[in-house]
Amino acid sequence: MPAVVVMVAVLAIFALGYRYYSAYLARRVYALDPEFVTPAHAYRDGIDFVPTNRHIVFSHHFISIAGAAPIVGPAVAVFWGWGPALLWIVLGTVFAAGVHDFGALVVSVRHKAKSIGTLASEVISSRARTLFLLIIYFLLTMVNAVFAVVIANLFVSNPAVVLPVLVTIPLAIGVGQYVYRRRTAALLPSIVALLIVYASIPVGVQMPVTMDPVAEAVGVTPHTVWVVLIFAYAFVASRLPVWLLLQPRDYINQQQMLLALVVILVGVVVGMNTIVAPAVNDVPADSPPWFPLLFVTIACGAVSGFHSLVSSGTTAKQLNSETDARYVGYLGAVGEGSLALCSLLACTAGVALTSGGWNSVYSDFDTASDNSTANFVNGVAEFASNLGVPTSIGAVFAAIVVISFAATTMDTGLRLQRYIVQEIADIVRIRPLARNLTLATVVAAAVPLALALVPGDFAFGTLWQLFGTTNQLTAGLALAVVAVWVTKKSRNPVAVLVPLAFLVVMTTWALVVNLTGFLSSGEPLQMFFLAPLDVVIFALAMWLIVEAAIALYRAWGARSSQQQDDTVGSENPTRAEET
């Protein structure tokens, strides 16, 4: 199958989804109001609540959600065949991710930019807040742990990328200062900064940075040193005002994202690469079942609960106008679906030129998981070579892209986890933890740091499965909040209820499959840590689903009563006047 045919067809579907389906959601389901005063204006503080140009907000939102997950998920899932993976990416993006991201953003904006966990309390029930916050805490723990491992692995295997990645940080701070102080557009400064980053790539190739001497001196592996340094950076970055580092680096990364998409998509056209992977793969008998695990392996890039945390955690605090929610929320989901498409093409048409070569890197599920990031990097390098870029430079470019996105997601993820820690501490009345930002950030970072330091293939071989399941479950629960809110507003909730029902079924099923695998693994960490954690998440989810179902039933009943009253009132003017 020519890769260009798949590429054009999918991008056309995405364009139609944004043009028509998101417009329907904006008018008939979420009823956007251009006159509504957003929290960014109502609670402006110059740190978290900052009214921002919609293009910059889109950059922050898009880059925060487009971390390593939409790259790694498809890169693993094509093991079962590119056909099912592509179908889920397309349908999930248009009818689930767009609805979810858009809806979570709108509901948060309408409720003072509160987090989706807090919204659960106001929209569903008081108990729902605590349940949701606990699930979100587990999700963010796994997000931060897995992404730290992704970055550390790439630093160890590609030391040439370290210098260009480090150069990005002071450049982003400089761009942030320039844009914020001068109140000017960020486009030109961010492009200049990106050009400087890429100019440093040849220097990085000539001067690779490794942690081998440090690791040898303290008696640990270079991977361990990098993980600790990554969390130290994320700790500092999550404490800075959003305009100083987060927003400008997001905008730089958006230019980088656009360039990466151009390199991949144009490279596919120029090289006329052919998809060499099977549409449906004949996997080994002991492989995990693709149904339901495909739908949690590809989370970001189809639909992801992490997006609701970003929408309600940081994006809602920066939205200048409520009508910007369609552009930021739905188009952000489409952008991430496009990245997932690029990952799929890189791992099926770019990573190897022969089917035998593809089979060697996808011989079994463990091999596919362990090599997922490397397969993407090598595939992008192949597409870049079609444009005349040396393969070695193309590989460094692709690694920088993955690291930049993963690091930005960690910045946002640790900031969000600090919010969650403070909310939980406030509920249980631990005031020092709820009020002290430094202490809350330390607590937020401690558990994911410990998980990231577990040796072996724990992050991708084991933790990724539970991350994907919890992530999709969070998306389903966020959709439950949106569905109840939409129903209370007397609008049609079907567009929200359909993806909600699908995700709840798939994720709870996957939790059971994961639990079975953890208990039968024979490994103490899986049996005595992940299995109980799986059970806890499952129990919390079931409880919250029941709460949401009750709230939805009550909202629908109240809606029906209101409609009957309106009908009677319109037929009887006297009754209407009394009402």
Q: What is the CATH number of the domain that holds 433?
A: 1.20.1740.10
Give the integer Cα–Cα distance in Å for 349 and 340: 14
pLDDT at 460: 64
Parent domain of 388: 3-460+469-578
For 446-455, what is each residue's pLDDT tens digit? 999 999 998 7
The number of residues making up the chain comes to 579
Count Cα neighbours of 373 within 13 Å in the Cβ-side half-sphere. 27
Q: What is the mean pLDDT of residues 75-88?
A: 95
408 vs 229 pLDDT, higher one:
229
Count other C-beta atoms under 10 Å from residue 482's C-beta: 30
Q: What is the mean pLDDT of residues 240-257?
A: 81
pTM score of the predicted model: 0.86
Count other C-beta atoms under 10 Å from residue 65's C-beta: 30
Give the integer Cα–Cα distance in Å for 378 and 357: 12
Which residue matches tokens 């971390």? 67
Cβ neighbours for 569, distance < 8 A, ≥ 6 positions apart: 575, 576, 579
Q: Which two tokens stand for residue 74?
A: 């498809």
pLDDT band with cut points at 50, 70 and 90 for residue 61 = confident
Q: Tell whether the model's pLDDT for residue 474 goes beyond 90.
A: no
pLDDT at 579: 29
Which residue matches tokens 């991201």? 101
Q: What is the mean pLDDT of residues 373-383?
A: 91
Q: Which two tokens stand for residue 140?
A: 């963010």
pLDDT band with cut points at 50, 70 and 90 for residue 494 = very high
Give the integer Cα–Cα distance in Å for 346 and 264: 8
pLDDT at 563: 57
Maximum mean pLDDT: which of 28-37, 180-189, 201-210, 568-577: 28-37
Give the integer Cα–Cα distance in Å for 100 and 86: 19
What one-letter code names the amino acid at 404? S
Q: Tell whether the model's pLDDT for residue 405 goes beyond 90.
A: no
Give 134: exposed, middle or buried? Use CB within 10 Å, 0-12, 13-18, 19+: middle
Which residue matches tokens 């925060």? 64
Q: Tell whether the model's pLDDT for residue 575 goes beyond 60.
A: no
Give the integer Cα–Cα distance in Å for 468 and 482: 21
Q: What is the mean pLDDT of residues 500-504?
A: 92
Maximum mean pLDDT: which of 21-30, 254-263, 351-360, 369-378: 21-30
Q: Tell whether the model's pLDDT for residue 45 goes beyond 50.
A: yes
% of the chain exceeding 90 in pLDDT: 49
% of the chain exceeding 70 in pLDDT: 94
| Count of structural domains within the chain | 1
DSSP letters, 171-240, are: HHHHHHHHHHHHT--SHHHHHHHHHHHHHTHHHHHHS----HHHHHHHTS-HHHHHHHHHHHHHHHHTTS
Which residue matches tokens 């389901």? 29
Q: How far from each other are the two terminal CA atoms of the chain, in whole angstroms?
A: 65
- Answer for the pair 508, 170: CB distance below 8 angstroms, yes or no: no
pLDDT band with cut points at 50, 70 and 90 for residue 93 = very high
**What's the sign of the alpha-carbon dihedral 410, 411, 413, 415?**
positive
**How many H-runs (helices) and E-runs (strands) does the chain carry?**
30, 0
Give the integer Cα–Cα distance in Å for 241 and 48: 7
pLDDT at 352: 59
Count Cα neighbours of 293 within 13 Å in the Cβ-side half-sphere. 19
For 12-39, what is each residue's pLDDT tens digit? 999 999 999 999 999 999 999 999 999 9
Q: What is the mean pLDDT of the chain?
A: 87
Q: Which two tokens stand for residue 203?
A: 């220097």
**What's the sign of the alpha-carbon dihedral 419, 467, 486, 131?**
negative
pLDDT at 561: 64
Cβ neighbours for 248, distance < 8 A, ≥ 6 positions apart: 172, 173, 175, 176, 179, 186, 189, 190, 193
Give the integer Cα–Cα distance in Å for 428 and 570: 49
Q: Tell whether the model's pLDDT for residue 240 goes beyond 60.
A: yes
For 95-134, what is each residue's pLDDT tens digit? 999 999 999 999 999 999 988 878 888 888 877 888 878 8
Q: Tell whether the model's pLDDT for residue 577 goes beyond 50.
A: no
Phi, psi of 274 (to 5 degrees): -110, 140
pLDDT at 165: 92
pLDDT at 22: 98
Cβ neighbours for 475, distance < 8 A, ≥ 6 positions apart: 96, 100, 299, 303, 304, 305, 307, 308, 503
